[in-house]
Structure 1
Amino acid sequence: MKKALLFVVALSAISASIAQAADRLQINTVLTLDGKAIEHRTAYIDNGETVHYLSDHTLEAMKAKDPNVKIEDNEKRAVGLEAHLTARLNSDGKILLTSKASYVGFYGYQDSPIPGVENAEFWTRELSGTRTINLAEPARYYDARQLKDKHDAFITVTVTRI
């Protein structure tokens, strides 16, 4: 009798974890820059997985003003949104949502101490945090630092069950 009871309890625990793991989630992410939605991404993941968004745009750290100046080993820097979002559906039906994200923007090229060369100037916003939300409830991640430049960037993430 004890063995049968233990078997039923173990089977229930296994089936509950399998049911939870089988949940598919849709993650919608909107990047807003200076008041305008400029990028929208949608991903489909299993419960507890992480979606990775990587920027596919890079800029060179230095630029020659003079075509006769050659820059060797010029560093490239990713510009745009990079995000790692994890969504976990809890047993209470709420979502534990973790964002490890940043946005890198480009000011422009400025004169450098090296004659004939300009340096790129970038700005960054950290868009990270963890929170518990309801399904389909938008979660906004923004940089909490007090920054003096005039750029505003944040992401809004919405998770739904599919």
Structure 2
Amino acid sequence: MGVDMVDPAHPPSRRAPLRWAVGGVVPWLLLAAGEAVWIGVDKRMPWLHILIGIVTVFGAVVAASIVPLWRYRVHRWELGPQAVFTRTGWLVQERRIAPISRVQTVDTYRGPLDRLFGLANVTVTTASSAGAVRISALDVDVADHLVAQLTDIAAIGAEDAT
């Protein structure tokens, strides 16, 4: 019995790009704050301060606009009768298939930004050496429903998980 290859159909929440934008721009803002302190302390080489400032602004713009939209176009998930399918990434893309018979645990995770935007992440741990399958940036009710479905399906075949 094989697992049919399914192109995952379900996108993350519509709030996911905003959450990813905020999460992506925070490190750039911290870098900009460090650069502001550096400029205040060391006035030598103004050309270097300008160059680093330009790179920082460019990085923040990419992290806040391009990356979240690209990730949203790529990220998909699907729960089939035999497996959980995911497609993730933005620069490097990964497709994962986790057979339901190999599911060991199903967890949810909500970091501070996730809670702020009303999102949750689902982690499906399997007996795979490749690690867990992660479904990111779901609406909380969708994540709760998915966890309940996975738990019910996994319980039916609990004797098969290794």
TM range (shorter): under 0.3
Q: Which has the higher helix share?
A: 2
* Larger gyration radius, structure 1 or structure 2: 1
Q: Which has the higher strand share?
A: 1
